[in-house]
Structure 1
């Protein structure tokens, strides 16, 4: 089953863009851009919102034909053109470059996409990412942490009433100081079932009954009834910056 991967550049204090939508704090050199290319080449599709798609479509289709274009930037232009793209928008009327428009994020349709064969899918755009998070559709997070504290701006992760458990899946420090942190979703725990009832014979002492009752309580509310009591054990089930001078963003945000 293929995964949906959110790859975003963020500041140390969690913002993906400054208060004026500026991205001049993104540090993208050839090493990091080549890494983006290597990561994205293995994807089977790009999933974008309208704003992200229009930024990309306004620059990358012909970026490799620009005077002096070479290296990772020219290489990414070909990757972007050839990659199948899904754009989620209620207003976009027309899209080119191997792009399909969808009007709504329908969780059942996204889950069906994930069950299809092929590589993982790269999710782009903070607004679309927030929608996918709300529907619990993101399987992996690749956070490119740039060495800066912005102080204010737009946070990557919106407020949420739910908690998402993650598992560290690796890290890498690049020469320019950017640190990649990889996380995947933690698998859900299985139900522990119920504890057996204490024996009804005279051999079941009051202490036995108290222990069984206390164990059931811990399994129900997830905590001990007194201070210092641990919950009962339950086995678990077995894209980047804008290139300089262009005002456009490569993938990885």
Structure 2
């Protein structure tokens, strides 16, 4: 978690009621595990979600992405810098992109792209010192690592009213126990809900109700 003088690592995830965050944007986004529901977000449009995403982009000055999400973004956004989505494409094309990968030999052709992953904790600290708001978009495997190691400052969950029953979850079985502080909760159209959390210190406690 950052101090008041450093930048923030912000994790942005679209998730279902049962916590699935895999492949919300398209059928071929992530088919691992024979996932049959790629693109589940598309039939559930929300103007409120769109507004909140746009507001978050106003301070974004770097991206931290997993390799799969990076490849998807690199194959799409550089070709979409005009039209309705042009402002997003221009932003993503302009800001530095940091790609988490253990493969030191990966080729990153998108301008402004740099590999991280040799020492993620140290590299995240460096990103905080260099940027104001670093956004982790999608990249569920990377997000799970950042959550487990508390290498983040804010978790933004856009929760949709759908249950899939399978797929990669934000907090899968075996996730590291941790406390969180709710920063805000707001409802949107179409039954969506935006939950914003920050990591909280201390070990998870247990007890008996009413004692």
Per the shorter chain, which TM-score range?
A: 0.7 to 0.9
Q: How does 1:150-189 map to 2 (within 5 A)?
A: 150-160=164-174, 162-188=176-202
Return the offset for 1:34: 3.7
Residue matched to 1:192: none
Contact 1:37 1:75 (8 Å CA) reproduced: no
Structure with the largest fraction of strand: 2
Contact 2:127 2:134 (8 Å CA) reproduced: no
Identify if the C-alpha distance between structure 1 residues 11 and 3 changes in structure 2 by more than 3 Å, giving closer, same or farther. same
Deviations 1:132-157 (A, max 9, x none): 23322122110000111112222122
In structure 1, runs of 5+ residues without a counterpart are 190-221, 231-253
Residue matched to 1:7: 12
Deviations 1:8-55 (A, max 9, x none): 000001111372361233434555334312202302211001100110
Calculate the TM-score normalised by the size of structure 2.
Answer: 0.77
Aligned counterpart for 1:37 among listed residues 30, 40, 54: 54
Contact 1:88 1:105 (8 Å CA) reproduced: no
Residue matched to 2:135: 122
1:16 corresponds to 2:21: yes
How many residue pairs end up in the alignment?
Answer: 190
Contact 2:97 2:113 (8 Å CA) reproduced: yes
Structure 2 residue matching 1:24: 3-state secondary structure: coil
In structure 2, runs of 5+ residues without a counterpart are 1-5, 24-34
Measure the CA separation in 1 of the matches of 2:112 and 2:61: 12
Alpha carbon RMSD of aligned pairs, Å?
A: 2.8
Return the offset for 1:62: 2.0
Contact 2:150 2:199 (8 Å CA) reproduced: no
